[in-house]
Structure 1
Amino acid sequence: MKSHVVGSLLRPPALLAAREHQVSAERLRELENEAVDAAIALQEAAGIDVITDGEQRRGVYFDSLAGVLDGITPVLPGQSEVLDKMVGADAWHTDESATELADLEAKLLITGRLARRESLALQEFEYASQRAKHPLKVTLPSPSSIALVFWSDEHSTAAYRDVSEAMDHVAELLREEISALAARGCRYVQVDAPDLTFPINEAKFFYEAAGLDRDRFLAKSVELLNSVMTEPGVTFSTHVCRGNNQGQWHTSGGYGAIAAQVFPRLDNADLVFLEYDDERSGGFEPLAEVPDDKVVVLGLISTKTDVVESRADVERRIEEAARFHPLEKLAISPQCGFASAMQGNPLSEATQRAKLELVGEIGRSLAS
């Protein structure tokens, strides 16, 4: 059984402090390089089969694209209709008291035609690939999530007829990005799709902002995912995320609510990463909807808590999952990134290490 990570790792305190105090670009790059080196060493020491650079150069997981596009600019006052609801009191949940979500309120909106200015993902890959001994994965955001989070009916319609047209253009830009990565030797790309789980919660604001009903939104999002996962010679995965910001989430409920509409239609995804870290994820029955030729990566290790899971409990849950999808087509990972937002989830670096080691140990034990 292969072991994976989803994407991000906790940022070192020195790197967080440097970003807060706005050090020179040269000094920031030095600290980022050190953080990437440490992230790679940590994953490889834990025995993770497919690794990332820990997303150490990003402020938030989608910076790899949104942070380097012309056409997304600050607007004050201003905020996308979707993001306005996403940072609302009822959108995010936690087992502890709520944490501050103001950092999501970036006030960035689509104000013009989008264009790739540079490639943060390519910079990430070129540095990390020179140091990684294990296969290296690059993570990118889905077309639907980017277009919706930065869409504004007031500010964006001068550039695009509607958000659906913007989603199509983001998909085109992602294909260009993936082609550039492949040309430099990248062979693993993950497309993160938190948008696919909003219909589980019936968070209508997300798809209504796109002018679509629930079913048409799911069909459109899956169509766009397939359209970007086409580069020859690249292994593609998608992560069906339930929200991850400083220990909080936006979606509860089993995958059964979307499984029939999504899982059989992910034609171009070789691996599907699913979150199964606690009871709010539901049972494994929806795995029966995933075609048998695809690998399901079970996110059984939580990145949201400071408690390390029991190996026996995790292996028991893998046995349960194998009732609905072939064991030889199962893999293991943490449930999400450890720091999808730069501030990170509420756990220590020691716990992060222990959880990664657990992922590696279980992967090795079930491969033998």
Structure 2
Amino acid sequence: MSNSPAKVLLCPPFRAEHVGSLIRPKPLFDKRCELEEGKCSVDDLKEVESDALKHIVELQRSLGIKSITDGEVKKASFFDGVFEKLDGMVFMPERPINEFKRYLPHIAMLYAAGISSDATFYCNGKIRRTKPFYVEEFKAIKSVVSPEEVKNIKINMCPPSWWHHRHGSELAYDLNVYKNDDEFFDDLGAAYRAEFQELYELGCRNIQLDDPTFAFFCYGPTVAGMKEEGVDPEKLLDTYIRSINVCTQGRPSDLHVGLHMCRGNYKGLHFCEGGYDPIAKKVFGRLDVDTLYLEFDDERSGSFDPLKYVPLNKIVVLGLVTSKNPKLESMDVLKRRVDEAATAMSNDNPLRSKEMALNQLCISPQCGFASVWQGNPITEEEEKKKLALLVEAAKQIWKDSE
């Protein structure tokens, strides 16, 4: 392959990427069950989490995956670790369900089940980061890898919009504290930037935001529901793009930030469908991130056509292998689909050849294997087979990379 501009962006991520969460090793899963049943303390859990971290790191190494995460084994859910640590945010264990946006698929499920309340966060004061989010988690991973591997560590965190999207501008924060979304997300962005900087100073060079909110704008019923409630989908989409950009602005040039657009991943279930066509031009072009992690594991993901809107300076990680069931994908199909993606990416673009497009692509599972601690309906052995397949596919597709 030629040395296209995208080539220099390859590290990180690597050609075969691991998105984030992994199936919890059995000792940790069992201990989590005990914690849920009140049979052990959080302190009892921490020792098992440390052992699980070592296991997860070695699992990634043994499969030839060069990016290293902690598998999010220290979290109960992918969104843990940010909002509960911020000044100005208060946890509400039982907020009335009528204060949640019914047009969201996961909230509609709560309504349908007759659930009257759900846990959430609410902003009742000025947002300040007085405690780190994942500094201790980064130090823990750093302690079990070689100095040469530190640059390969990736930290996953939820997006700034995670709780806002559930309640909307009128119920996400106290209007006596913040007059509008811009004010709210400006302070939240400052908190994220402070976290990014502290992680960077410790050696972190790769951060991934796991964001399910953008996929809702690709799902017809949700967009229709927004309009019925008087919410302007385009204006809200602009707000969420901006919410990311105020977090990533001014970052060091060698701090790589990616964003994963998730369609839901709860014990193997998804929450929405639809291709990226409605948002691609605006979101792919305007998001201030280095990498887009996009789900393309089945027909609900739409076609590769929207990839033509990816700028020349961004990497796309194609989520071609499902984390939601144990069926192992075909090597030939993976190779064919990468070729199709490169073709779609270069179509009608005189500035990007197919070879250049291929150089902007990597592959991964479509989502993590355990966005919640209970995991997906898949075993660790099945998970390893899928990850090993990705590594081998990457070797065959990009023969001169890595």
TM-score (norm 2): 0.81
What's the offset of the Cα at 1:123? 1.1
How far did residue 170 of structure 1 move? Answer: 1.9
For 1:105 and 1:19, locate their aligned partners in 2 and report how far apart those are by CA, in whole Å: 21
SS at match of 1:303: coil
CA distance in 2, matches of 1:113, 1:351: 46
Equivalent residue for 1:35, pick from 49, 52, 68: 52
**C-alpha distance in 1 between matches for 2:180 and 2:58:** 45
Deviates more, 1:68-77 or 1:276-285: 68-77
Return the alpha-carbon distance in structure 2 between the equivalents of residues 65 and 175 of structure 1.
13
Q: Does the Cα contact within 8 Å between 2:15 and 2:363 map onto a contact in 1?
A: yes
Give 1:200-349 correspondences, 5 Å limit: 200-202=218-220, 203-204=222-223, 213-230=232-249, 231-232=251-252, 233-266=254-287, 268-325=288-345, 326-349=357-380
Q: Shift in Å at residue 28 of structure 1?
A: 1.3
Distance 1:73 1:152, change over 3 A: farther
What is the distance in 1 between the residues matched to 2:200 and 2:316? 24
Deviations 1:318-365 (A, max 9, x none): 111110231011101100011111211111111111111111111222
Aligned mates of 2:104, 2:214 — CA distance in 1: 17
Quick one: structure 1 residues 108 and 228, their matched pair in 2 at CA, closer, same or farther if it must change by over 3 Å? closer
Taking structure 1 as reference, are residues 101 and 12 closer, same or farther at Cα in structure 2, changes over 3 Å only? Answer: farther
| Counterpart in the other structure of 1:50 | 67
* Aligned 8 A contact 1:163 1:210 in 2: no
Greater Rg over alpha carbons, structure: 2
Residue identity matched to 1:340: S
1:168 matched to 2:189: no
Partner of 2:129: 116
Identity among equivalent positions (%) equals: 33
CA distance in 1: counterparts of 2:199 and 2:227, whole angstroms: 33
- 1:11-55 CA deviation, whole Å, 9 max, x = no partner? 123223323333234321111111111111111111112221100
Q: Which runs of 5+ in 2 are unaligned?
A: 1-13, 346-356
- SS of 2:338's equivalent in the other structure is helix
Secondary structure of the corresponding residue to residue 162 of structure 2: helix
Distance 1:34 1:69 in 2: 28
Post-superposition shift, 1:211?
A: 7.8
Partner Cα separation in structure 1 for residue 114 and residue 33 of structure 2: 17
**1:69 aligned partner:** 86
Deviations 1:129-156 (A, max 9, x none): 2223541111122222243347685683
1:95 is matched with none
Query: Are residues 1:3 and 2:16 paired?
Result: yes
CA distance in 1, matches of 2:171, 2:276: 34
What's the RMSD between the two structures over aligned residues?
Answer: 2.9
* Aligned equivalent of 1:177: 195
Residues 146 and 88 of structure 1, relative CA distance in 2, 3 Å threshold: closer
> In the alignment, what sits opposite 1:352?
383
Are the aligned partners of 1:296 and 1:329 in contact in 2 as well (CA < 8 Å)? yes
Unmatched 5+ stretches in structure 1: 93-97
Residues 147 and 163, structure 1, Cα contact 8 Å, conserved in 2: no
Structure 1 length-normalised TM: 0.88
In structure 1, the residue matched to 2:173 is 156
Paired residue for 2:76? 59
Q: How many angstroms does 1:254 deviate by?
A: 1.0
Q: Is the 8 A contact 1:11 1:342 kept in 2?
A: yes
- Is contact 2:160–2:185 with CA below 8 Å preserved after alignment? yes
Give the aligned partner of residue 32 of structure 2: 19
Paired residue total: 360
Does the 8 Å CA contact 2:274/2:300 hold for their aligned counterparts?
Answer: yes
| Mapped partners of 1:91, 1:260: distance in 2 | 33
Distance 1:329 1:77 in 2: 44
Cα separation, partners in 2 of 1:160 and 1:16, compared to 1, 3 Å: farther
